[in-house]
Amino acid sequence: MKKILSVVGARPQFIKLAALSPELRRCFIEKIVHTGQHYDVDMSQSFFDELHIPKPDYNLEVGSGKPCWQMGTMMMRLEEIVEKEKPDCMVVFGDTNSTAAAAIVAARYSIRLAHVEAGLREFDKSIPEETNKLITDSLADFYFCPSETGVKNLRDMGIHNQVYNVGDVMIDLLVHYREKINKNDTLLSIYGVEKGNYVFMTCHRAANTDDSEKLREILSVLADIPLEVIFAMHPRTMRAIELSGFEKMLVLPHVKVVPPMGYLDSQTLIHHASFVLTDSGGVTKEAYFHRVQGILLDTQTEWVETIEEGWNIQCGPNRSKILKAIEHLQKPSKHSDFLGEGNASKKITEILLEGLR
């Protein structure tokens, strides 16, 4: 039986792994490597517990640090594991430092590389995630795209072989847990909000948190939102707010600041929200699945179909644009389910089973 090394390190990757791992284990020996890029309990261990992800076989415990140091440390520690396990294939997800570091190690050891969520672009190399995408897609052997846009982007790069539009593995998990999410209504009473009468908010991108003026623009919107706001606060965002002295901007009677929450709770709050305010690609997709509109705090997004269909409005960290978007929100009629029907993990496993023979 062929051996696969699945490498993860950040919250969105844990979610994708939760969907894919059970399918892989039906056909392969899977070993999981956690790089330790996200190490906070709320950002890491809670997801493994809640989503029943197998305990990682290895934890590199890299933690936070400057990007090149972090990636270099990951590569050195991952190299030892690769030499020991001798996998037939490495599977990486998305666009984090963990993704790119693992891709380079796979290339150096001539190990076939499968990129889940391949082909996405933001067309701005100043964005760390964009360079990670480019590195990984230049080295991959199997390209598992979540949408036709990913296939097109790869084609434009001259990449045609082993490119598959399988759909998004995150949709697999949403479909799997749909009933639990819908029945999790008691959570709303805990937070004191009513269905369709509150906003779910996240903000974590370095472009927003590391720039105090952009952060001020985003936080200044809170006072003028005419609904209750549940702000799920990323640890990095809280540190940035404290460093900039913006804590008072959160002290509003209709704003509830909460720590990062588990998967099911966050999905329930997205599902019943009036709209979401976010710079997270994951939340952007999840809101689309739940047919909830989103106002995007980022100036770039890979999920262009959600913009084209009207489910998301791209405002960036711009107070006036955000408030105007809130005022004119109107639910669109088109919803194409372009991210698939919840069977991406099965498709990926079948393709790998054939491709690794």
Instruction: List active site positions.
Output: 204
Pairwise CA distance, residues 170 & 345, whole Å? 9
| Secondary structure class of 342 (helix, strand, coil) | coil
Half-sphere exposure of 118 (CA within 13 A, CB side): 33
Cβ neighbours, 10 Å, residue 137: 23
Residue 112's H or E segment, with its range, is strand 112-116
Pairwise CA distance, residues 38 & 107, whole Å? 24
Q: How many H helices and E strands in the chain?
A: 17, 13
The answer to whether residues 148 and 141 touch, using CB atoms and an 8 Å cutoff, is: no
- SS3 percent helix, strand, coil of the chain, rounded to 5, is 50, 15, 35
The answer to whether residues 74 and 98 touch, using CB atoms and an 8 Å cutoff, is: yes
